[in-house]
Chain A
Amino acid sequence: MGEISTLHYLVVAACLFIIGTVGVLTRRNVIIVLMSIELILNAVNLNLVAFSRLHGLHGQVFSIFIVADAAAEAAVGLGIIIAFFRNRETMNVDEVDLLKW
């Protein structure tokens, strides 16, 4: 067993991605849904860095942009959660229907 190949990293990233997807699709707690989105972004980052070992540094630069995006998304998402909590006194995704009429 020599060097770990790119495929190993891709499988780990796929596992993290699927776990994040299951979290987004099944949980009712909004905060845990946001954490699952962070898991998904991390899986994508791992893929990019794993491929950057093959194709030069572009993947690493891109993963830095994705981290910046994740920070922006977390800030806005948590702001929305706080605003929603003020309105409804709940954290369930099922009850987020303020834009429906």
Chain B
Amino acid sequence: MTPVATTFFFYFLSAIAVVSALLVITRRNPIHSALALIFTLLSVGGLYLMLYAPFVFGVQIILYAGGIVVLFLFVIMLINLEVVQKEEQLNRMWVPGVAAAAGLFGLLIFVFVRGRAVFPQTFQKLPEESNTQQIGEWLYSFAPNTPHPTYILPFEIASLLLLVAIVGAVVMAKKRIS
């Protein structure tokens, strides 16, 4: 199998991801931000594909780019204020905020540079074809003595969380009934 994970594609996708992430936080118009967010999500999805994670790639496209961003766009269209775009865009504490984030970035890069030897250079070859099947088995299997880990309980809790979130969103967004 010829590897998809070529060096060029990695730098290409990560450049798109980082540049459009910068666009997300710098645009005045939230719709432009949402469109840039789609580009970031798609290129991060491409990085998942390079990491041999096709199922996570599909989830990323369907749920993030197809679901969450559309939800954002709906809300922006519902309550888009022209006034907000003409106001000051940064809040009062933006200097300490940027300083703290820069400090965190420096710390992360320091850790990566110092701990470079910790990360092994050889990779476990994940079988790309059975990857999705294996995730499904881990998520759904219920038998007590399976040889692989089971994630059925967290899976059910996640579905409960989504139910609570749906109810919460409806309660929050509905008109007040007095």
Contacts and interface: CB of A to CB of B under 8 A. Distances in A.
Given A50-B51, A63-B56, A78-B71, A35 B64 contact: no
A66 B81 CA distance: 31
Contacts of B109: 11, 14
Interface residues of B, number: 89
B90 A74 contact: no
A98 to B, nearest CB: 13
A44 to B, nearest CB: 11
Contacts of B138: 57, 61
Nearest to A1: B7
A19 B164 CA distance: 30
Contact of B123 (A16, A23, A54): A54
Nearest to A42: B44
> Which secondary structure dominates chain B's binding surface?
helix
Given A26-B91, A67-B64, A71-B63, A20 B21 contact: yes
Interface in B106-120: 108-109, 112, 116, 119-120
Given A7-B112, A7-B119, A74-B68, A31 B76 contact: yes
Given A65-B158, A71-B162, A32 B5 contact: no
B93 to A, nearest CB: 7
Contacts of B105: 14-15, 18
Nearest to A24: B97
A18 to B, nearest CB: 4
14 contacts: A19-B21, A21-B100, A25-B98, A31-B75, A32-B25, A42-B44, A45-B60, A50-B51, A57-B135, A71-B68, A71-B165, A74-B71, A76-B169, A78-B71
